[in-house]
Structure 1
């Protein structure tokens, strides 16, 4: 086992225990302990190369995440000459597959920043977060996000970037229709009717197509009231076909889709990217959106506002939150160096730099507070999303069954709101799929 060393941690006011940093290891080695530390993933000297595979949040070579990581790594290496960090950046279409191929081939990276962690945690491939990060860094994460990083009550997933959803509305179209932003479902339906009467193509855009239907679905489930709880209950059991969830989709089918208030494309065929593009083109009155829609709409000159998602009788119980994940793989045994590098990654300055560059929400309390207090225009634009984040609810990403359940939702949920569709029947079938997937994952 790698040695530990005690140090003072001002956040907790007591001595804390943590795997030490590469810089500390070099100092200890100078005191004659190199051989003792050799089993911690060292190459026999103080030099080590860490390999990170990361997702690309940019939409061109000029905005690629590679630029962010190159600058951060240069800064880190200048302070840690005995550590090299090699970063490979892949598109979101490829990054999860690339990491899986590396792990399956027995060549896991030291770190991966991707979309899911639970399968690797279940396969005992990852370090627990407590083996990597300082207590100060761990304590800084927003609790809903760090809680979602736990598999079987131990945190393995480290939040990296987050977003929430709010209701975007086109101010110009609302003014022409003489309406105000809705605060309840009935008001949303009334606004949609007024927009349709003014010839708006998509009064409310309802993207339940296979690209990201699980997101739109979850936001509606959370706003359903009467015990609506998203995909699972408080103890993590799937409750997709709950009475409240069936009632939510009955309302969508009857009051929005059935009254032709969702536009010319059937919700089950409307993808999120298409809906966002239509909003940026001024064709959508309202839709649920995340922070990237701000820049997309602003570039096209759309005047828009943002309000919390309405609930059945008032503000929705919670907003849907989404986070992407960082994780440390055990294979190469570099826990100390990985932890030191990640403590640097999650320094307030670096978290803010990434969030501001890509229009996403900080995952740490210190960076979130700094952004909330900022008067800069780019930060103020994110304030409505930041306000939702502390009480947001995430997908059940700690369940290894979630990937299969999400895929089933993407493919099938649109059928629930078709003219001949049965919300109860569709949600019951999805519940059966979820129960079976959950059983397989725990057997």
Structure 2
């Protein structure tokens, strides 16, 4: 699944290929096939990367195939199980999908390559942790994107706020100043559970935890309840619907009306806001979601992609070569600057300093987390009990009782047999 839509460029719909005649070094074909998801990289990036890879790997034909997110799970599982006519040597997958594919079977372990060649010690945990199962690495972080605060510079200036807040206390104080008359201090829908997750993590809590092989929903833990309490304080400083999420209605459209001081979203939403209201062009800024203290940004849900290698590839050495190139500083920099992404390593955060949106994401990405590492998490989200829990609390119901009901539902789903 893809949780974040962070770019507007569409990748080419056709495969980009070079030519070559020599066999792979491990006895496989001279062609190596890379599956990328639509929208993850621009056509220009793919063309440049393909040409550069083939230049540095004479005789190897790199074939890049663009895939749609809809229905991708079945296609990937077919390749992993050797039941598909299609072939792939490297596959881009959503960071939270890796555990599901590992459970199904057919994903090659890459722990040693990560340590020896790809600098795994510096990987963003929000990408690397979901790609690790039982201490073994299967997913290789490729790029990340996370939410930041998008704000209206004019409204901040009118309220006398000269610098963006850097801790929760200052954030609440600033938002209270901004929440006046017809103006909303922040537009925060009641069911934006990704934002809630960050507040829960900041408090030391979690959505669910695994104990002795069993998953237990943990929204009713004191720390998780503290995260929900902060969400309630912030949400009250605007008119976000208690029973809706960020897409009902689309928050970018609400923000574009010019009477909302802040929203929490990926930087890519600025393009949608400016398209809806061109008068806001150049008047929008970004800052990381504030943490409890000024020395550390708030925790955020990390969206993005990992790269996996099917066990059944006949070209594993070349697959490793492709990943080595994709995660190199050169191509991480190119991708991050082209697509406004966060690179896969904390040590590469500097490469997006000139991009305001991506630069605002980087501090949060360093505190990034992902959803519980269960292959059944997708089933939890299919009928997400966190959303009605949030609405219940914001509507005045007892937080502990509502949290217990949601936690029990998560426990049941996460521990159910397929």
> Fold match, TM over 0.5?
yes
Aligned to 1:404: 379
After superposition, what is the alpha-carbon deviation per residue over 1:207-242, rounded to whole angstroms, capped at 9, x for unaligned? 355xxx33122122234x3xx323246988642221
Matches within 5 A, 1:258-273: 259=236, 261-263=237-239, 265-271=241-247
Counterparts of 1:309 and 1:103, CA distance in 2: 38
Provide the TM-score with structure 1 as the length reference: 0.73
Aligned length: 383
Counterparts of 1:70 and 1:283, CA distance in 2: 42
Asked if 1:391 is matched to 2:367, the reply is yes
Matches within 5 A, 1:24-423: 38=27, 42=28, 47-57=29-39, 65-96=42-73, 98-100=75-77, 102-103=79-80, 106-107=83-84, 109-115=88-94, 116-130=97-111, 135-139=116-120, 141-142=122-123, 144=125, 145-179=127-161, 181-183=164-166, 185=168, 187-200=170-183, 202-209=184-191, 213-223=192-202, 225=203, 228-232=204-208, 238-253=217-232, 255-257=233-235, 259=236, 261-263=237-239, 265-271=241-247, 274-296=250-272, 300=278, 301-311=281-291, 318-365=299-346, 367-372=348-353, 377-378=354-355, 381-396=357-372, 398-407=373-382, 408-409=384-385, 411-423=387-399
Query: How far apart are residue 339 of structure 1 and its match?
Result: 0.7
Aligned to 1:7: none
* Structure 2: runs of 5 or more not aligned: 1-19
Native 8 Å contact 1:170 1:302 kept in 2: no
For residues 410 and 72 of structure 1, do their structure 2 counterparts lie closer, same or farther at Cα, with a shift above 3 Å needed? farther
Provide the TM-score with structure 2 as the length reference: 0.77
* Structure 1: runs of 5 or more not aligned: 1-22, 29-36, 59-63
Query: How far apart are residue 365 of structure 1 and its match?
Result: 4.9
Aligned to 2:16: none
Counterparts of 2:395 and 2:244, CA distance in 1: 12
**RMSD of aligned residue pairs (Cα, Å):** 3.5
Q: Which has the higher helix share?
A: 1
Query: How far apart are residue 316 of structure 1 and its match?
Result: 5.8
Point out the structure with max Rg over C-alpha.
Answer: 1
After superposition, what is the alpha-carbon deviation per residue over 1:264-318, rounded to whole angstroms, capped at 9, x for unaligned? 6345244288113433443421222323245555664152343343456766653
Q: Give the match's secondary structure for 1:114.
A: strand
